[in-house]
Amino acid sequence: MDGTLVDTNYLHTVAWWEAMRQAGHTVGMREIHHTIGMSSDKLMDRLLPEDRDRSGDQRISTAHKTLYAEYFARLPALDGASELLRTLADRGWYLVLASSASKDELAAMRATIGADEAIATVLSSDDVEEGKPAPDPVEQALKQAGVSARDAVFVGDTVWDVVACVKAGVRCIALQSGGIPPEMLLDAGADEIYRDPADLLRHLDSSALGH
C-alpha cells in the first residue's frame, strides 16, 4: 500500500531521518528512501553502523512510528488507487493488501483509499515472521487467497517488493509512484512497470492483470 496506493514513501523517509537524527545517527535521505519497503529491522541493519548499540533500535523504530503517525489524518491516496481496486474486484480478482506497515498504519491508509468493499484480505507486519525482502508477506498473501504463485500478480513500488516476489515465484507489476527509478525495478526482476495506479488502470487490459 505504501507508495503503491498511497503517496507515503517520502513521508516515511523524513520520519526515519528524524528518528535516526534524534538517536545521534546521520543518514542521507537518499539512502533512507531506497530502503523504504523493507521491514524496520532490516532497514536499520542496512542504514546504521554494524557496531552500534542495538538496544537503541527499538527506540528509533518507535520514534519513526510516532513521527509518521502525525500524517495519518492527511495521507494522500495516489491517483487512480480506489478505482483500480474496484475495477479489479469487479473483474473477479481476489485482492489481498500486503504491507510491512503496522495495523494502525494500514487502517489510516485504508481510510484514505476508501475502497474497503473491494478488498478481500489485509496483511500487516504483525501477520508474518519476516518482512520484505524476504518472501514471507507474498507467500502469506498466496495462502490467504488460496492460489498458487503462477495464478497471482503482485503490484508494488520498491525493489524490495520485486525481490520478495521473485523469491516467491510471483509475477510483479512495479509502479514508479514510490520514487524508485524504473531501471532499478527492472534489474530487480519486475515484469511490467507503470507510472502510478491510474496509469496501470489505463493499460489494464494489456497488463498481467488483464489476462
Give the per-residue pLDDT at 77: 98
Element (H, E) at 111: helix 103-113
68-103: pLDDT as tens digits: 999 999 999 999 999 999 999 999 999 999 888 888
Give the per-residue pLDDT at 186: 98
Give the per-residue pLDDT at 208: 97
Q: 190: which residues sit within 8 A by CB, 6+ positions away?
A: 162, 172, 173, 174
**Cell 533500535 sits on residue:** 57
Residues of the chain predicted below pLDDT 70? none
Q: Within 10 A of 185 (CB to CB), how many other CB atoms are there? A: 25
Give the per-residue pLDDT at 101: 81
Give the per-residue pLDDT at 127: 86
Give the per-residue pLDDT at 103: 85
